[in-house]
Each structure stands twice: as C-alpha cells, then as structure tokens.
Amino acid sequence: MSDNQREEDHFHPISDARDIEVSLSLQELLFIDDHVTLLVSERDFQNVVPLKSRLPASCVGVDLGFIQLIGKALLEAFSDVGRDVVAILSSGDLLTIREIALTPIQYGTANVGVSLKRKVYSALFAMELEGIEEEKNFDALLEGLDIDLGESRL
C-alpha cells in the first residue's frame, strides 16, 4: 500500500466552504435547529449562562453561520409548507448533521434520522457514487457484446 493510499484512508480534510446543495424538508430543518447550539468563545462570553440549559442528548455545538443558514432555510420552508428547501452546506456542516441524525428519530410522520443520513452521505460521496454508477452503466453496455479486438491472432 502506498503512502498516499494510507493517508487517504486515514485523513480527509473537512472543508468549511459552503458549496454543496442539499434539499431539506421542514421536519428535517426543525430537527436540525432543535439539536444544535451556538458555540461561543469562553473569553468572549465570560460568566454567561447558556441559553439552552438542558440540551438534548444528541445536541451539537455549531458556529453562528450554521445557525443563520438553518434559520433562513426554516423561514423559507415556513413560507411554502410542503416544499423542500435547498440549503448550501459544507462537508463540515454535513458531518455535523450526521452527528445528530440518529436512525430512529421521527418528527411527525417523517423519519428524519434515516432521511438525513441518506442525504448527508449522498452529498458527501456524490462524486464517488457518480463514478460507481458510470462504471455500472459502462459494464451494462459492454455486457453481452462479443467484440474481437484481434487478440486471438497474436
């Protein structure tokens, strides 16, 4: 195994560039909003009591930008109930959502845990999944073809 392969297996940089489009439902946005809390620097806010004194077990601290992004998406979802909202997230944001998206979580009739996991992993691995799908399509096209490339004459 090469050194590059070992590095790829053990270290993947997490980007904070928000450039990944993910469609989220109102229930998913509400769930995310309920399970994040604002992270603040201790030196900036000395002797301050947290606003969420009792946090859910799967609550994750996030930056103000993430809270604003989810808040704006929620407002958009409230204005057109039933329609998913496209949020532009970073791979770091997606991994944050992954941390709170427990499989059995239900919000109303929607299983937001499973749907969020599917959307997170689809977004994170979109390029790899496209490559796999292209390989399958290429293999399907070649399947059953009997092409003589002249190898038998060598």
148 falls within a domain: no
Residue type, 87: A
110 falls within a domain: yes
Instruction: Report how many domains make up the chain.
Output: 1
119 falls within a domain: yes
The predicted-structure confidence for 131-148, as pLDDT tens digits, reads as follows: 555 555 555 555 655 555
Two tokens, residue 120: 């997170």
- The pLDDT > 90 percentage for the chain reads 35
The predicted-structure confidence for 93-145, as pLDDT tens digits, reads as follows: 999 999 998 888 787 788 898 999 999 999 988 866 655 555 555 555 556 55
Amino acid 23: pLDDT? 96
Amino acid 138: pLDDT? 52
5 falls within a domain: no
Residues listed for the chain? 154
Amino acid 139: pLDDT? 55
Output b/e per residue, 20-43; b: 16+ Cβ within 10 A. Answer: bebebbbbbbbbbeebbbeeeeee
Which phi and psi (to 5°) does residue 79 adopt?
-75, -20
2 falls within a domain: no
118 falls within a domain: yes
Domain coverage including residue 109: 12-142
